[in-house]
């Protein structure tokens, strides 16, 4: 814990600081390789509490649609919200939401092998990312609006509408060039 986070214009992949451009390519590859690439939008982009949030939400929907267009048969992109941070017991419905305090339920249930957090408050994102890392083998990406996330395997910082759209562009650019992991028995979502 406590790795050095990227400076503006940079990202990190597995804790190694890289130019942001390299991270777009790697994130797009991971999305296109995954059997169930999933976007987890959080409260900061699920409600139109300001104009920027609304625009980000539109960009995230665009990224999701792009993913759906670019994956191959057998791949199932998902968009599962993290609507709030309330602990919910006995458990959440993993088909409709993800809970930062119990994220592995949603990962396991849907066999998600690559996910991206966006619009989640940093503390809650780190909490969930740590548990996902500890309890699943899902590849984690963070599109963070602040300083980035050490607990994601790949993290952007200073997320904006432009950056989300650029990631969508990279997904489209790499369409058909990446071999999906469709033969994997565990789909990367084991515990």
Partner 1 sequence: MADTHSVIGTKNKKGQTFTDTWKMMNDAPRTPSFYTGSEVIKEALRRASCDVMIAYPITPQSEAAALIGELFAEGYIGDYFRGESEFAVMSQCAGAAFGGARVFTTTAGPGTMRAMENFPMWSGARLPIQMIVTCRGINSPLSIQPDTLEIAYLLNTGMLVWHAETAQDFFDWILKGYMVSEEPDVHLPLALCCDGFFVTHTKDVVNLTPADMCLPPYDPYRSPVPCMDMECPPVRMMRDPFVMKSNYISYATHASWQQEVWAAVERSRKHTIKWLNGLIETENTDAEVIIVASGTAVSQGREAIRLLEDEGIRCGLVKVKVLRPWPGEEIREATKNAKHIIVPEFNVTGWLAKEIKATIPNSERVHAGPRVCGGMTMPPEIIVSEIKTLLGIHTVSMASRG
Q: Which residues lie below 8 Å from residue 49, measured CB to CB, with a gap of 6+? A: none
Closest CA to 45 of 15, 82, 13, 16: 82
- Sheet-wide strand order for 139-143: 16-19, 10-13, 154-156, 139-143, 114-118, 37-41, 78-79
Binding site for partner 1 (CB under 8 A): 1-2, 4-5, 43, 50, 52, 84-87, 89, 101-102, 121-124, 126-127, 130-131, 134-135, 146-148, 150-151
- Of 76 and 85, which CB lies nearer to partner 1 in the complex structure? 85
Closest CA to 191 of 114, 131, 125, 128: 131
CA-CA distance, 191 to 188, in Å (whole number)?
Answer: 9
> In angstroms, what is the minimal distance from the CB of 188 to partner 1?
20
- Of 72 and 146, which CB lies nearer to partner 1 in the complex structure? 146
> In angstroms, what is the minimal distance from the CB of 67 to partner 1?
27
- Of 77 and 119, which CB lies nearer to partner 1 in the complex structure? 119
> In angstroms, what is the minimal distance from the CB of 139 to partner 1?
19
> In angstroms, what is the minimal distance from the CB of 65 to partner 1?
27
- Of 101 and 160, which CB lies nearer to partner 1 in the complex structure? 101
* 3-class DSSP state of 46: helix
- Of 147 and 165, which CB lies nearer to partner 1 in the complex structure? 147
- The region, left, alpha or beta by phi > 0 then psi within -120 to 50, assigned to residue 13 is beta
> In angstroms, what is the minimal distance from the CB of 114 to partner 1?
21
């Amino acid at each position: 814990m406590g790795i050095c986070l990227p400076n503006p214009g940079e990202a990190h992949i597995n804790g190694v600081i890289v130019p942001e451009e390299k991270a777009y390519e790697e994130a797009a590859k991971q999305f296109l390789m995954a059997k169930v690439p999933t976007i987890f939008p959080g409260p900061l982009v699920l409600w139109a509490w300001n104009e920027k949030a609304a625009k980000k939400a539109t960009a995230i929907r665009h990224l999701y649609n792009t993913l759906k267009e670019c994956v191959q048969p057998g791949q199932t992109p998902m968009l599962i919200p993290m609507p709030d941070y309330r602990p919910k017991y006995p458990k959440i419905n993993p088909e409709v939401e993800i809970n930062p305090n119990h994220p592995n339920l949603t990962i396991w249930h849907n066999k998600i092998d690559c996910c991206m957090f966006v619009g989640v408050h940093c503390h809650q994102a780190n909490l969930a990312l740590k548990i996902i890392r500890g309890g699943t083998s899902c590849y984690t990406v963070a599109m963070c609006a602040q300083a980035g996330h050490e607990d994601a395997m790949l993290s952007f910082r200073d997320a904006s509408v432009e950056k989300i759209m650029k990631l969508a562009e990279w997904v489209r650019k790499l369409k058909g060039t990446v071999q999906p992991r469709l033969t994997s028995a565990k789909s990367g979502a084991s515990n």
